[in-house]
Amino acid sequence: MSRRRFVEQERRLAEELSTKFRGTASVDIAVLDFPFKKLRDEDEKNTERLEKLFKKQKGCRDWDIFNHIPALIQPDQLDAALERSNISSEALLEARDGHLQLDFPAGFLLSCLRSQHRALTAKASRGITRWTVDLYNSVYTDLSDDLKTTLIEEYSYEKKPDDGEIYSKIREYQGYGGGGNPYFESRWWALLHGISSHKSDNMKQIIRNPDFRAAFDIQLDVPGLGGGMSLGSTHKVFGMKCHELMLSYLDDNIRGFWTKIFRGDRQAMLKLREGKIFGAFTEREREAMWPDILSETTDRLIPSPSSFFADVHYLKGPADCVKALVELWPDETVPSALERIFSDANQETDRCIIQQSESTFISIPGNRSDRLELGVLQIWIGAMRDYLEMLPEKEDDSLVAKPRSQPNERIGYEFASLAYCLGFESEEIRYQIQRSPDEEIARKTLLKARDPTRYKYDDADVANFVGQMVRFFSTAKKREDETIMDSEGYPRTLKRKGIPQTGIYKADKSSLYLERLHSIREDQSNELTSFFVRRSVYFAFFGKPNRATCEKLEKLIGEEQGRLTEQNRQEQEQWQAQLAREEQQERLERVMLEEQVRLQRERLEEQERLQRERLERVMLEEQVRLQRERLERERLEEQERLEWERLEQERLEEQERLEREKQKAEQVRLEKERLARIEQNMKKKTDKRGIQQPNPARSKDDKKQSTTSAIQKNRKRTTRIDFSKLAESVIEQPAESRGPASVPPLDRRTSQIQEDIGEQAIPQDLQALTGETSTSTSNLKTPTQQAVDIHFKIRDHGKWRLLQTLSVDPSDTRELKRFVVKYLRKHEPIYTCDKDKRMLKVETCFEDAIADGENTLYLIPESELNDGNDSNGSDSTGSGSNGNGSNENDSEVPPSARKTLKLS
């Protein structure tokens, strides 16, 4: 309808409304009557809503212009009422607030155009006796239909019309069931657009599609179904691309059900309002309808648009799973796409595959058409069975952050394999069956175990771990027992439409197979179960097969199962007979084998016994031989050790003897050199004194001095001779024989010399010799008796390490010698040496240790004895010094000799 015509129609109605309006008055509520058919039916819910509203407002507010009730009255009736109420027509026309009370005679009824629910609510309320009405001066026939319709359909703001009423009004004014009215159609379109532009677009989409438009027109034939219309959800109906299934639900299920109930009587269907089947019918009509209702509800629920939209919401999940198997072409639906990808591959020409459980399949007789039809149904049934575990979560950052379930790759793989097994082929199906769900599950498990944003795996390790997990998955054994759902997880209330509860979904999975859904025995159940609801929804979308088809299918399945049972029985008998023969043969072989094993075991035991005895003899002989060899070796080693000790003792004694001779010769040589130096020095001093310049003034004393010099010269010569003999006697005398008795003669000789030549004539060296000799003699008289700490150092990996320290009494060194002997025997080959790696004898090790003042014995293994680069750890200051400031040659001289020969 054009805008110009719409505006002209609005202006014409406004002029007619102004001409026919006679005023506003308050009338007795008992005179209100609602005779027009176009009024909305009595709605208990709307009445209850108005009651609550009036209670909240503490009144009905009938004077509010939105609550005025438009009413028609004839001119003579209005004049009589004005005269009766003593009100002028001018006052009535000017009063718009309803304060004027207009009274009518008893039995009078005022024809009202709308607000039936307000009047009913006011009549039911206490204290409300009057209501405000707008009066129009006209008889029923004189008021134009457009104006009457406008007044009837003029709604207040408290309640908007539902989607079913809007759809019915638009279709009615479009001409369904009679002549159309573009003006009022435009008004309803404007009202719908004002309510929701989204619903307006969905309504236009229905109008453009003749199949869906005809299917939804069931609401005009059965007005009671209009309450379930949902214009806000029809976009899902078109968006699912399952038009055949939707039309099957609307036409075959809803329209077919109500047509059968009312036996095609349209007038009877018009009586059904607000979902109450028997409310508008007589008892006789109800009795006639009841058998048909029972017949149609043996295997399904009573359908309606409300259940349709709820079940469409449920079908979306399975539809998305089926869409994952095929790529839809433009303007193509899911059922037609399944027919397109049906290739009948890997199928027997005269057989159809029927799935009985997750892993059980049978085949029944059938042609290609049967395979296509049954294959499509089984794909949809499989999607209904597992859609909750197959659907991937939508990845969208705008979604609400809430826990979401993850799809099961194994279920998706098995669903695609089912489609391929039934003869369907597509790129999507091939992709699903070629990938490994176990590998994807293993990979996701690794990534889920550690956050990929914080951790990472090596690529080689990931491949290895995934392979190990897949191999572990393959070891799982199939369970034979049925999984029984816990009663606590089963909901107490049963939903009759829409998406089922999770507990019901899991409980019904094992029942959703073609054989049971099409079974005739399921029609005989008198209980409302969750499977009954699922079966009803399945029949609503995919159509209920006739009884003959179900019986044929059930018969074919039964025959095939009987054939398989008989085949299994025969195979079982053959298998049992074969098993019995094999068991008998195996028993004979086992007896023979046991006998052979027994004989072989006895033979082996005898061989082992003989071998063991022979080995015992050999081992005994070997032990005897080894014992003899060990004793002989120990005897030889003991001989060698004794011989070595003897030779070592001789070598050390010879070395010591040679050392003493060497020291003695060296001492003699040094003493001779010292005496020579002393004599030379004395000679030089004597010569120096004798050579002096003559003094003329002392001529008298020269003669006397010359005489004295001659005497001194003779005395010096005598002293030198005596000292040389004395030194030689001291040197030649052994250290053992030099005791305290030998010292006094020297002192006496020295005293005699001093007496002969005087104190001044004795050289300083001789005086020092005399003092030192006395000191040495006094030291020899009192040897020390304090304990001496002897340190043992051992050579360990090129370094000296302190092994032990012993406190030794010089008067008893046996403990020291025992320690050295035990250690050398326990750790041989090892040697006792001094700091210069000279081997020492056990008998003299104490004297050798304290000889150099270090009190240390060095233990050197044979492996490091010849190592020329090692250090003895002593505090030597150079190659020619022994650490005490003496020459290396002086270290060879015994301490007693060095003290005695300290003349120089």
What does the pLDDT look like over 559-609, one tens digit per residue? 888 888 888 888 888 888 888 888 899 899 989 999 999 999 999 999 999
550 contacts 516 by C-beta, under 8 angstroms: no
- Please tell me the total count of domains within the chain: 4
Q: Is residue 593 in some structural domain?
A: no
| pLDDT number for residue 735 | 40
Same domain, 501 and 362: yes
- Quote the pLDDT of residue 172: 87
**pLDDT score of 722:** 44
Low-confidence ranges of the chain (pLDDT < 50): 1, 6-7, 37-39, 57-59, 62-63, 140-141, 156-158, 397-403, 483-488, 693-700, 703-704, 706-784, 868-904
With respect to residue 374, please indicate whether it lies within any of the assigned structural domains.
Answer: yes
10 Å CB burial of residue 466 (0-12, 13-18, 19+) is buried
pLDDT at position 91: 81
Among the candidates 101, 135, 159, a domain finishes at 159
Do 138 and 47 lie in one domain? The reply is: yes
Same domain as 862, residue 716: no
Residues 738 and 795 in one domain: no
CA-to-CA distance for 303 and 305, rounded, in angstroms? 7
State which of 496, 527, 542 marks the end of a domain.
Answer: 542
Structure tokens at 240: 């699912």
Domain-located, residue 568: no
Hey, CA dihedral for 356, 361, 365, 369, is it positive or negative?
positive
| 24, 68 contact by CB (below 8 A) | yes
CATH number at residue 847: 3.10.20
* Same domain flag for 726 and 843: no
- Nearest 5°: phi and psi at 424? -105, 140
- On whether both 715 and 829 belong to a single domain, the answer is no
| CA atoms of 511 and 675, how far apart (whole Å) | 135
Q: Is the dihedral of CA 232, 235, 240, 241 positive or negative?
A: positive
- 418 and 526 share a domain? yes
Residues ≥6 apart with Cβ < 8 Å to 482:
510
Strands 110-112 and 32-33: parallel
Using CA atoms, how far apart are residues 13 and 11, in angstroms rounded to an integer?
Answer: 5
Q: What is the pLDDT, as a whole number, of residue 317?
A: 93
Question: So what's the pLDDT on residue 55?
Answer: 54
Residue 320 within a domain: yes
| Final residue of a structural domain among 503, 518, 542 | 542
739 shares its domain with 796 = no
Instruction: Please give the DSSP secondary-structure letter assigned to residue 806.
Output: E
Give the 3-state secondary structure of 827-890.
Answer: CCCEEEECCCCCECCCCCHHHHHHHCCCCEEEEEEHHHCCCCCCCCCCCCCCCCECCCCCEHHH
Q: Is residue 806 part of a domain?
A: yes
pLDDT of residue 312: 95
At 471 the pLDDT is 86
80 and 19, same structural domain?
yes
Does one domain contain both 42 and 114?
yes
Instruction: State the CB neighbour count (10 A cutoff) for residue 439.
Output: 16
Whether residue 22 lies inside any domain: the answer is: yes
Tokens representing 114 are 């709308």
Q: Round to whole Å and give the CA distance between 212 and 305.
A: 13
- Residue 204 within a domain: no
pLDDT (tens digit, 9 = 90+) per residue, 293-308? 888 888 889 899 999 9
The predicted pLDDT at position 148 comes to 58
Contacts 24+ apart (CB under 8 A), 256-262: 257/296, 257/302, 257/303, 258/218, 258/221, 258/222, 258/225, 260/292, 260/296, 261/289, 261/292, 261/293, 261/296, 262/289
830-833/130-137 β-pairing: unpaired
Query: Dihedral, CA atoms, 59, 64, 70, 72, nearest 10 degrees?
Result: 90
Direct distance between the N- and C-terminal alpha carbons of the chain, in angstroms, rounded to an integer: 154
Q: Do residues 411 and 390 lie in contact, with contact meaning Cβ atoms separated by under 8 Å?
A: yes
Q: Tell me which residue range forms the domain holding 858.
A: 788-873
β-bridge pairing 110-112 and 69-73 = antiparallel
Looking at the chain, how many residues does it have?
Answer: 904
Same domain, 8 and 48: yes
Q: What are phi and psi of 528, to 5 degrees?
A: -90, 105
Closest CA to 648 of 844, 864, 796, 794: 844
Whether 90 maps to a domain, the answer reads: yes
129 with 18, same domain?
A: yes
What DSSP designation does 138 have? -
Q: How far is CA 100 from CA 91, 96, 129, in A?
A: 9, 9, 14
